[in-house]
Amino acid sequence: MKNKLNKLIPPEIKDGKLFYLIKELVLQETPLNVLEIGSSSGEGSTLAFVQSMQKYSPKTVLYCLEISQTRFQKLHNYYKALPSVRCYNDSSVSINKFLSKNEVISFYNRFNTNLNQYSLELVLRWLDDDIEYIKNSNVSQNGIRKIKNDNCVINFDMVLIDGSAFSACAELDEVYGSKIILLDDINDIKNYQNYQLLDNDSFYELIFEDWNLRNGFAVFKRIQQTLSIHFFTIVLNGEPFIEYHFEILKKLPVPWHWHIIEGVAALNHDTAWSLRTGGTIPSGLHRNGISIDGTSEYLEKISSQYPENVSLYRKPVNVFWDGKLEMIRAPLRNITGQHLLWEIDADELWTVEQIKKTYHLFLNNPDHTAAYFYCYYFVGKGLLITSRNTYGNYSHMEWLRVWKYQPGCDWISHEPPKLCRTDSKNNPVDMSTIKPFLHDTTSAEGLIFQHYPYVMEEQLAFKEKYYGYKNAVKGWRKLQKANTFPVYLKKFFPWVKDDAVVDRAESKGIQPIFTTDKTGKRYFHQP
C-alpha cells in the first residue's frame, strides 16, 4: 500500500477560525521566531503566518517542518523567494520518541476522542506508516533541535504543533517554554494529552479553544514571570555533565541566566584544608589554567551563541583563581535587583520539573530566603549513598543550593556556602539563617537532585591529586567490584569517617539520569 505521506493533501487550516486567529496572534505578538510543525504544502496555516508577517511583522522568521518529501517540495517551491520562510524536510523528533504501540493502544482504550471513529487496527497501521516512512526516506531526525541549534533559538515566540499524530507529545517537550503554543487536533491522539498538560500547567494560560472545529484546537500563552533565576557553576574539566545543564535550562518557562566560572581554583581559603592532606595542582589537570577535556570549547561556543543567557568568566592565561570564593563572587557584579541565585555544580543534575517546583516555592512564599535539599549521591554506576546525616547528605549544611538574592549580598565563604547581607549595624547576616526551606519541605516536593561526584575513574584520579584523597582510585575500583550490598563507604574511601551506607539505586527505585553502557558510552535521560 502506498504510504499516505507520499500524497499531497488539501489544507485543513484555511480561511477558518484558526487561520484568522493565527493572523491576529502575529499582529498582537509580533514574534521574532515562529515554528510550524507539519507545514504540508504551505497553503494552510503557513499562508496565514506569512500573510500576517508580511503585513504586520516583517522581522519574523518562520521555520517550517514537513516530513513528507512530496509535500515539502511544493512547500519549498512556494516560499523559496521569501528569506523569512525557512523550510526543513526533517522529522520533528527521533523515531524512538514516537508513541509506542502500547501507548497508542492505552490512549485509544482510555480516552473517548475523535480517534475512536477509526478502528484500532487502522490507527496502529498509521503509526507503522509514519515510522516506516522516516526509515525509508532517510530524512534527518530531531528537526526541532536542529532548527534551534542552527539558528541559536532557546525558546520560540510562537509554535504550531500540527505534525504526526504520534510525535506531538515529544514535540511539546522540545518546544516547552515557548511564548505561544497552538495545538491543532486536541480531540485526537495528536494533542489531547498536550492540551491536558498545558491546561494544568501553572506557567501557561489558555487563551482560546474550540473543540467543535474539525478535531478542535487550542492556544496557550506563557504567563509572564517577574522573578528570574541566576544559575552559577564553577567548573574545571566538567565533561560530560556540563552539557546536560544547558539543555535543561533551555526548556524553562521562566527568565534565567547561567553564569559559568571556569578554571583552576588555587588551594586557598575554603579549600586550603586539602594542602594538609597532600593536595596539589598538577600541570596535567589543566591547559594554561582552563579545562583540557572539551569543556572550554563547549563553553566558548554557547556563551558566544547565547550571550543573553550565558556568561563565561575566566582569569587571564596561566592565572589561577584565588580559591573557589573568588570564583563564586565573580558573577555578582553582573546581577542587579532581586532574583533567585542557584548553585549548580557541574556534576549535579536537576530536572525541568524540579526547577519549576522550586521556583514556585519561592514565588508563593516571598518571605523565604534560601532552600536546602537532599541529593542522591552516586559513588559508582548505579551505586549511591542511602543514609541520611552521613557523608554526602549532612542536613545541617548540605545541600544549600538556592538563595533569594538582593542587591548588596556577598559571599562570605564557599565551604559551606554563605551568602550574606548586612544589617543596620553593618554586620553580615547569613541569608540561609533567616527563613529557609528545609529538607522536609523540599524532599516532600520531590526536590532531591542527583549528584555524580564519583561515577567515573577520572573523577577519582582528580580528587586523589587535588584534595589529597589517598588511594581514591584503588578504593573506588574495589567498590565497583563489590557483589553484596549495602556496604559502608568508609571501607572503600578512607577519608570517609562516618557510617555512610552504599546500596544499589535500583533497590531504592531510583532511576539514574546519567549512565553508561558496556562500551563506556555515556547517556542522559529524564527519569
pLDDT for position 420 = 97
Is residue 409 within 8 Å of residue 476, measured between CB atoms?
Answer: no
Mean pLDDT, residues 510-521 taken together:
89
Strand order in the sheet with 428-430: 410-413, 418-422, 428-430
Burial of 97 (0-12, 13-18, 19+ CB in 10 A): middle
On whether both 47 and 175 belong to a single domain, the answer is yes
Residue (of 72, 79, 74) closest to 54 by Cα position: 79
Does residue 502 sit in helix, strand or coil?
A: strand
On whether both 108 and 53 belong to a single domain, the answer is yes
Q: What is the identity of the amino acid at 416?
A: P
Return the minimum-mean-pLDDT range out of 5-9, 245-249, 415-419, 508-512.
5-9
pLDDT for position 454 = 97
Q: CB 241: neighbour CB atoms within 10 A?
A: 25
Q: What is the pLDDT of residues 180-210, one digit of tens each?
A: 999 999 999 999 999 999 999 999 999 999 9
β pairing state of 348-349 and 410-413: unpaired
Q: Where are the alpha helices (DSSP H) in 80-153?
A: 101-110, 120-137, 143-151
Domain harbouring 320, CATH code: 3.90.550
On whether both 411 and 357 belong to a single domain, the answer is yes
Q: What is the pLDDT of residues 210-224, one digit of tens each?
A: 999 999 999 999 999
Residues in the chain: 527
Mean pLDDT, residues 386-404 taken together:
96
Mean pLDDT, residues 450-459 taken together:
96
Listed residues 198, 222, 246: the one ending a domain: 222
On whether both 180 and 249 belong to a single domain, the answer is no
Listed residues 184, 205, 222: the one ending a domain: 222
Residue (of 145, 192, 182, 210) closest to 29 by Cα position: 182
Query: Residue 405: pLDDT band by 50, 70, 90 thresholds?
Result: very high
On whether both 86 and 176 belong to a single domain, the answer is yes
Mean pLDDT, residues 508-518 taken together:
92
Q: What is the pLDDT of residues 234-256, one digit of tens each?
A: 999 999 999 999 999 999 999 99
pLDDT for position 527 = 61
Q: CB 278: neighbour CB atoms within 10 A?
A: 12
On whether both 325 and 283 belong to a single domain, the answer is yes
Number of domains in the chain: 2
Mean pLDDT, residues 481-509 taken together:
96
Mean pLDDT, residues 503-507 taken together:
96
Residue 480: is its pLDDT beyond 60?
yes
On whether both 309 and 351 belong to a single domain, the answer is yes
Is residue 63 within 8 Å of residue 157, measured between CB atoms?
Answer: no
On whether both 150 and 270 belong to a single domain, the answer is no
Query: Residue 1: pLDDT band by 50, 70, 90 thresholds?
Result: very low
Q: Which three cell numbers stand for residue 4?
A: 499516505
pLDDT for position 2 = 59
Inter-helix orientation angle 17-29/45-56, to 10°: 30
Residue (of 60, 66, 3) closest to 27 by Cα position: 60
Mean pLDDT, residues 225-231 taken together:
96
Mean residue pLDDT across the chain? 95
Q: What is the pLDDT of residues 147-183, one digit of tens each?
A: 999 999 999 999 999 999 999 999 999 999 999 999 9
Return the minimum-mean-pLDDT range out of 338-342, 420-424, 430-434, 435-439.
420-424
For 301, the domain range is 229-524
On whether both 270 and 199 belong to a single domain, the answer is no
pLDDT for position 317 = 96
Q: CB 430: neighbour CB atoms within 10 A?
A: 19
On whether both 214 and 233 belong to a single domain, the answer is no
On whether both 53 and 108 belong to a single domain, the answer is yes
Listed residues 189, 222, 255: the one ending a domain: 222
Higher pLDDT, 522 or 373: 373
- The pTM assigned to this predicted structure is 0.92
Q: What is the pLDDT of residues 47-84, one digit of tens each?
A: 999 999 999 999 999 999 999 999 999 999 999 999 99
pLDDT for position 157 = 97
Residue 124: is its pLDDT beyond 90?
yes
Higher pLDDT, 7 or 499: 499
Q: Say whether the peptide bond before residue 486 is cis (omega within 30 degrees of 0).
A: yes
On whether both 31 and 60 belong to a single domain, the answer is yes
**Percent of the chain scoring above 90 in pLDDT:** 90
Q: What is the pLDDT of residues 36-57, one digit of tens each?
A: 999 999 999 999 999 999 999 9
Is residue 523 within 8 Å of residue 516, measured between CB atoms?
Answer: yes
Residue with cell 575500583: 477
Domain harbouring 158, CATH code: 3.40.50.150
